Amino acid sequence: MDQGIVLVTGGYDHSLKFWYPHDGVCYRTIPHPDSQVNQLAITPDKRCLVSAAYQQIRMYDIKSSDQTPVYVFEGMTKNVTSVGFYDNGQFMYSGGEDCMARIWDLRGSNQQCQRLFQVSSPVNCMCLHPNQATLIVGDQSGTVHVWDLTTDYNEQLIPEPEVSIHSVHIDPDGAYLAAVNSKGICYVWSLTSSGSTQPITLTPRTKTASHKKYALKCVFSPDSSLLATTSADGTCKVWSTADFSLRNTLKREADKWVWDCAFSCDSQYIFTAASDHVARLWHVEQSSPIREYQGHSKAITSIAYSDRQ
């Protein structure tokens, strides 16, 4: 196995599967008992994988053959829906249906919650600004919270009241914030800051009816040139960030939810995870998948991929 490449999927069948990306072979399966997999994330050093689960976040050693977690983060009362890491790998953030966003300190042996941010509605999604000082939190009430971690200042955006925000993401250049909701609308804001210690200013950039049904995920490419959105309408759509025009539609099976997606580091390829139990690899300019990853027995709801050296 190429130690520099990690591809993992998880979903409703209570299992995590590790894949060889180039031939579609599953080389490791980890049971994920008592909970579906809500989201997956790989630590920046590629040593560990975490899964967002019911009342827990489970951390696994990627290179070990042990099927048990090396650490379990607890204290949540409901589903954990979102998880991710700071670039330095020393902190992790998470959010869930208990209406809490959390920051975890990973530096010691007693890895514990360091900060809490409470909102009035269940948290669906989170992302961290490249400046590592601003967290974006999307909730079921339709609110996008902009949490400045330096000043504890919190700004709220409500694109459409009571229309649930399902996914948020900031491009690696820190120029745009995207959010998608349960009506299939994709919102994009331009991000600016007058200084490193000043709060980020958000200016509406575009609003697009990107999908006919629920929009489930939005992800910018590593080079910030593309935005991918996935939906319950069975598509993954690729948009150009130059003008946010539609560049390509990736579609395989009719009426199968596409839950998640992940770009390759060169921004030329994209992995998708769908409710037909299959993950797929696509070239962003082609309409047919290059490879399929089959082995799950139920919907795949999350995919994590890293090929950065």
What's the rounded mean pLDDT across residues 173-191? 97
Q: Could you tell me the pLDDT band of residue 3, with boundaries at 50, 70 and 90? A: low
Q: Are 77 and 53 in contact (CB under 8 A)?
A: no
pLDDT of residue 1: 43
Give me the phi and psi of 150, to 5 degrees please: -80, -45
- State the pLDDT at residue 109: 79
What percentage of residues in the chain have a pLDDT greater than 70? 96
Per-residue pLDDT tens over the stretch 60-87? 999 999 999 999 999 999 999 999 999 9
Confidence of residue 22 (pLDDT cuts 50, 70, 90): very high
- Would you say 167 and 124 are in contact if contact means Cβ atoms under 8 Å apart? yes
Full DSSP string of 209-257: E--SS-EEEEEE-TTSSEEEEEETTSEEEEEETTTTEEEEEEE-STT--
> Residue 176 above 90 pLDDT?
yes
Indicate the length of the chain as a whole number.
309
Mean pLDDT within 262-282: 96
Q: How far apart are CA 206 and CA 253, in angstroms?
A: 29
pLDDT at 14: 97
What confidence tens digit (pLDDT) does each residue in 43-58 have? Answer: 999 999 999 999 999 9
Q: Residue 52 is encoded by which pair of tokens?
A: 């967002």
The count of other CB atoms within 10 Å of the CB of residue 282 is 23
Q: Is the pLDDT score of 195 beyond 90? A: no
> Which comes out higher in pLDDT, residue 174 or 110?
174
Tell me the C-alpha distance between 91 and 74, whole Å. Answer: 16
Question: What tokens does 186 get?
Answer: 């994709």
Specify the pTM. 0.95
Residue 134 reports pLDDT greater than 60: yes
Q: What is the pLDDT of residues 98-108, one digit of tens each?
A: 999 999 999 98
Q: What is the DSSP letter of 200?
A: P
Among 41, 18, 14, 40, residue whose Cα is nearest residue 29: 18
> Tell me, what's the pLDDT at 108?
82
Can you give the pLDDT at residue 2? 54
Q: How far apart are CA 130 and CA 23, in angstroms?
A: 33
Residue 11: pLDDT band (50, 70, 90) is very high
Q: What is the pLDDT of residues 219-256, one digit of tens each?
A: 999 999 999 999 999 999 999 999 999 999 999 866 68
Share of the chain above pLDDT 90, in %: 90
**Positive or negative, the Cα torsion across 205, 206, 207, 213?**
negative
Distance, C-alpha 161 to centroid of its chain: 23
| Two structure tokens written together for 296 | 């799950």
pLDDT band at 258 (very low <50, low <70, confident <90, very high): very high
The band of 183, judged by pLDDT with boundaries at 50, 70 and 90, is very high
